[in-house]
Structures are given as C-alpha cells and as structure tokens.
Amino acid sequence: MERVGIPTAAICTSGFVNAGMKQAAMLGIPSLPIVDIPFPFASLPPEQARMRGAEAYDTIVAALTTSPH
C-alpha cells in the first residue's frame, strides 16, 4: 500500500522491530514506519491489550501522517 501512496505502518512488538526493518528494506520500502509495542502483547488480557493500543495510538497516527510516505 505504501508503494501506491497509501500511508502504511507496521506495528510489532519490540523483539520484531529489527526483522521488520530488514523486511521493509528487502521489499524496497526502507522508510516504512515501524511502531514498537512493548512485549508481551498477544498474551495480555483484553483490557491490558486495549491499554497498550491506546498508549500507542499517537505514535501510530504520527507514523501514518508524517513524511516520508
């Protein structure tokens, strides 16, 4: 989506940020924003997961609305 001008961001836990950066570079989009969510996430109870999402909201919005895209 990023390649056709639709702002895109990857969201992943801390342990996968480097892998995400490498994958984005291999796909030809090295400037792809990657939002780092603290680990663990998947095993959190729903309320804590919602809180983590709320905490990351501003960072996600900034990643989608700040150049380069």
Contact between residue 8 and residue 2 where contact means Cβ atoms under 8 Å apart = yes
Per-residue pLDDT of the chain (69 residues; tens, 9 = 90+): 877 888 999 999 999 999 999 999 999 999 999 999 999 988 999 999 999 999 999 999 999 998 765
Q: What pLDDT sits at residue 54? A: 96
pLDDT at 5: 83
* pLDDT score recorded for residue 68: 61
Q: Give the predicted TM-score (pTM) of the model.
A: 0.80
pLDDT of residue 61: 97
- Separation CA 30–CA 66 (nearest Å): 15
Helices of type H across the chain: 17-26, 46-65
pLDDT value of position 65: 93
